[in-house]
Amino acid sequence: MGNRVVIALGGNALGNSPAEQLDLIKNTGKAIVDLIEGGHEVVITHGNGPQVGMIKVATDFSANKGGGTPEVPFPEASAMSQGYIGYHLQQALENEFTKRKLNKPCVSVITQTLVNADDEAFSNPTKPVGAFFSEEEAKKIEAETGHKFVEDSGRGWRWVVASPVPEKIVEAETIQQLVESGVVVISTGGGGIPVVDHDGVLEGVPAVIDKDRSAALMADQIGADKLVILTAVEKVAINFNKPDQQELSEMTVAEAQRHIADGQFAPGSMLPKIEACLNFVEGHADRTAIVTSLEKAGDAISGTAGTSITA
């Protein structure tokens, strides 16, 4: 019997430009269709860092350099990136279905993620987004808009936005209904479009949500059996890049928490993935979270590759 699986695609499964992405995504499509052919119900989530950045930089540049186009707000840029990444993924999957003579519907859902308007992340924005400006330009925009700008690695000044904790995937119920009716769903791109609830009225906010946390939340809300976070390595390692590096095939929640306390996982890369896995499995003996590479996804779900994390 197949599992209900949420697959979180890492940036390495997508490209930095539309052309590169369209090429890379063919392999992604093959690996995912292997799982579907194996009888699993699949929901796909994905990052959007380079893509939303490209859209925001291009539209900022045009708006600020006299191109005559309006500035595109960050939530709208996020929605645009979900749309075009979803289109590429749908196309790759549909082409692979046709090749294998599988009659399987596939759809992308533009997904909103509810965050708390009082999340402390909003008072301390840390994620640089969009175009690079000179200090003078940045200070001028800061004065006009109230946006916070920081100097980014000697490349210029950039707008920084918050990274709040995701609380609810707004469209999860609809996605669950689609999955139960046999549809392969692509959703929660880039962690979802961040929205806040003002007395029952949803409103988009400029923020970046951790995509793996949102994938774990989605998996929880739709009753998934497995969360598979795809990254550049086949297994999670401790003492990474040291002579005594050790790859892990399995971890319990307690073991993972001990490794986190020992500083084994880098904050910018592996740590958020492990934390997302813990969010999904903690207190649930029937759930498994897996960290592995795209190439090993099928083997990892059957238990012969990757790092499995259980309660």
pLDDT tens-place string over residues 22-63:
788 888 899 999 999 999 999 999 988 778 888 888 888 788
Domain 4-114+171-198+208-310 sits in CATH at 3.40.1160.10
Instruction: Give yes or no for a contact between 208 and 214, defined as CB atoms under 8 angstroms apart.
Output: no
26 is catalytic: no
Q: Say yes or no to pLDDT of 254 above 90.
A: yes
Instruction: Give yes or no for a contact between 139 and 149, defined as CB atoms under 8 angstroms apart.
Output: yes
pLDDT tens-place string over residues 258-283:
999 999 998 878 999 999 999 999 99
pLDDT tens-place string over residues 160-170:
889 999 999 99
Enumerate residues 6+ apart whose C-beta is below 8 A from 306: 228, 234, 235, 249, 290, 291, 292, 293, 296, 297, 299, 300
Per DSSP, what are the bridge partners of residue 150?
158
Candidate list 3, 15, 49, 127, residue with the active-site label: 127
Which pLDDT value is given to residue 270? 93
Please tell me which residue, 67 or 28, carries the higher pLDDT value. 28
pLDDT tens-place string over residues 103-113:
999 999 999 99
Candidate list 56, 211, 226, 296, residue with the active-site label: 211
Cβ neighbours of 285 (radius 10 Å): 8
Please tell me which residue, 82 or 25, carries the higher pLDDT value. 82
CA atoms of 150 and 213, how far apart (whole Å) = 26
The mean of the pLDDT values for the chain is: 92
CA atoms of 43 and 284, how far apart (whole Å) = 20
Which pLDDT value is given to residue 33? 95
Provide long-range contacts, Cβ within 8 A and 24+ apart, for 83-87.
83/108, 83/110, 84/18, 84/51, 85/14, 85/21, 85/46, 85/48, 85/51, 85/186, 85/189, 86/110, 86/186, 86/189
Q: Say yes or no to pLDDT of 12 above 70.
A: no
242 is catalytic: no
pLDDT (mean) for 88-102:
96
64 is catalytic: no
Percent with pLDDT over 90 in the chain? 70
pLDDT (mean) for 293-306:
91
Residue linked to tokens 């649930």: 284
Q: Say yes or no to pLDDT of 222 above 70.
A: yes
This prediction's pTM: 0.91
53 is catalytic: no
Candidate list 56, 226, 273, 296, residue with the active-site label: 273
Which pLDDT value is given to residue 24? 81
Which of 108-112, 150-154, 178-182 is predicted with the least confidence, judged by mean pLDDT?
A: 150-154
11 is catalytic: yes
Q: Say yes or no to pLDDT of 207 above 80.
A: yes
